[in-house]
Structure 1
Amino acid sequence: MLASVDPPEVQLAMDHTWHLPFRWASDPDGTRLAQPLDAWDTEASIFRPVVVAVAPDGREVFRELSRDFTDRTDDEPVLTAIEALGLPALPEPAPWAPEGVAPQPSKRAFKPSSFIPYFRAIRFNTMALSQRMVDERDRDLLVTEQRMAESFLSTFDTWRAEHPPDGQARG
């Protein structure tokens, strides 16, 4: 499940744009999910990215709370924790179609066309900044951010091949 401060109409538009196989939860003021998960950014009034994996018996098997909105969890630790449960694969869910909700894109929404320049900028900026850092901890944080951007760019290449613009055949 994904959650955000956006209303269901905006979430549905995002779901359609990115072809996401997830359901969404709307938490505009952060009281239902974000605050209980300690993932509410009070200054920005948004979720901080958080990934929580819960076993069928209710045990939390993975949690990573991002430092800020730019920070994202790497796939491998999450997948490792989930695969360790030894559960059977779930079938592909049906498209999310909440009754009475029509997609309404947001001007703030991250569109596929902005993905590459955004993450290229992160990659190049963090590369340059990491060379200026004198503190190893700060340099490590920048290198981690740079690797995250590279991972997103690589994953987006795969996504783009699987979801070509309308009218273009998959190749």
Structure 2
Amino acid sequence: MTPDEYLASPVELSEILGRPADDPKLLFALRAASRRFRGAVRHPVTLVEGDTVTLDGNGRESILLPVWPTTVVTSVHLDGALLADGTDYAWSRDGILRRLGCRVWPDRLRCLTVVYSHGWPVDEVPEDIVEVVLDQARIMDTVKPGIQSKAVGGQSVTFGAAAAVGVTDHWAKAVARHKVRTSGDA
């Protein structure tokens, strides 16, 4: 089990649930919540080095790389020709790839190939991701699937709408903020 498979700390979840950080059920819930978040945003979240993407041109000066933060752009090829960083293009940590020299990216499909690194080191995952993953793990650990209301003797338990549908508004906002960006997002 590698620490980078979790997007939040088992110790933090153990404090929330009041169980040891190495409890198998706790770790399963945290692993499942981390996988669920990664699946929802369609990328690993943590640092990926040397990722190669093929992008469509948009006829504009700037293009968004699919995943941010961008830590390095290793190469940009336009129709197979290698472009020079600082002369032909510039890039930002926010994943903006800008054409330089009063030029625009061509408005053609699959004309750009970019090799870049993106994501956060495991110990720097943004707090909004950590928070929603911990919350989702807590819900997964606590709520029994398919049960919305349960009555035994004189006691009754009803789970809220978030448990019934599986995500909270906070989760949905974090996913929207960190999801893979497409050409329509520019």
TM over 0.5: no
The structure in which a higher percent of residues are helix is 1
Greater per-residue strand proportion:
2
Pick the TM interval, shorter chain.
under 0.3
Relative contact order, higher structure (CA 8 A, sep 6+):
2
- TM-score (normalised: structure 2): 0.22
TM-score by length of 1: 0.23
Larger radius of gyration: 2
